[in-house]
Amino acid sequence: MTFSDVFKSSFLANINSFSTVDVLLALGLAFVLGLFIFIIYKKTYSGVMYSDSFGVSLIAMAMITCLVIIAVTSNVVLSLGMVGALSIVRFRTAVKEPMDIAFLFWAIGAGIVLGAGLLPLAIIGSVIIGIIIVLFSTRKVGNTPYILVVNCSDDDTENTVREMVTASAKKHLLKAKTVNATGIELTYEVRLKDNNTDFINKLSASAGVSNAVLVTYNGEYMA
């Protein structure tokens, strides 16, 4: 058997091993589901900085995964080699948002299911997942946490600040206390009553308070 015979038997035979119509249909549905995932991601995103490139990559990931699964299911030998090839792939990009991981797996899972030919499962599953994400992302749980930073001149001012925070905040927790030659810096995590921030004006006008800063805190940050 010559090299030409091997080439013909392994390559040309695989051209007819799948239907072009099925491939186009699967990729078209993968694009539609990827676009649906992208819309849900854009609608429910609550991080610090929104990335359009990540949203577009969800569409591409669904289509690429679908294409790979179609190739794997059409040839058993190819599937074994592809598993070995993909096992050496490493992704170095850091995922800052926990929900981004869920969207990545969603896009990959939709591509796998579509590539396997389970179209109803991919469509129904994606719709249910999208509805659940939208419902839970728009639901507020508890009060918004804030970080309060107050600069005091002495111990008496510190006691005054503590009393005002206790009276105005629904919950509060002293996170840090810094003492230096210029005074005392207090850092509180507070949950306000009805998110009313008016007490900050009174706090900053108190005698001995040189500075008062209130910022929203939800655990997110910019790297």
Exposure b/e, 7-19, CB count within 10 A at least 16 = b: eeeeeeeeeeeee
For residues 131 and 158, membership in a common domain is answered with no
> Can you give the pLDDT at residue 47?
64
Last residue of a domain, one of 137, 155, 184: 137
Exposure b/e, 73-101, CB count within 10 A at least 16 = b: ebbeeeeeeeeeeeeeeeeeeeeebeebe
Range scoring the smallest mean pLDDT among 68-77, 131-140, 201-210: 68-77
Domain count, the chain: 2
| Pairwise pLDDT comparison (59 vs 206), residue with the higher score | 59
Answer whether residue 56 is part of any domain.
yes
For residues 24 and 96, membership in a common domain is answered with yes
Residue 125: which domain range? 3-137
pLDDT at 129 over 80: yes
Report residue 70 CA to chain centroid gap: 28
Last residue of a domain, one of 137, 158, 186: 137
For residues 9 and 95, membership in a common domain is answered with yes
CATH, residue 167: 3.30.70.60
Mean pLDDT, residues 32-52: 82
Answer whether residue 222 is part of any domain.
no
140: left (phi over 0), alpha (psi -120 to 50) or beta: beta
For residues 50 and 96, membership in a common domain is answered with yes
DSSP code of 206?
S
Mean pLDDT, residues 77-98: 60
> Can you give the pLDDT at residue 164?
84
Give the DSSP letter string of 77-91. HHHHHHHHHHTT---
Taking alpha carbons only, the member of 105, 130, 115 closest to residue 73 is: 115
For residues 119 and 165, membership in a common domain is answered with no
Would you place residue 11 in the very low, low, confident or very high pLDDT band (cuts 50, 70, 90)?
very low
What does the mean pLDDT of the chain come to?
Answer: 77
Last residue of a domain, one of 99, 118, 137: 137
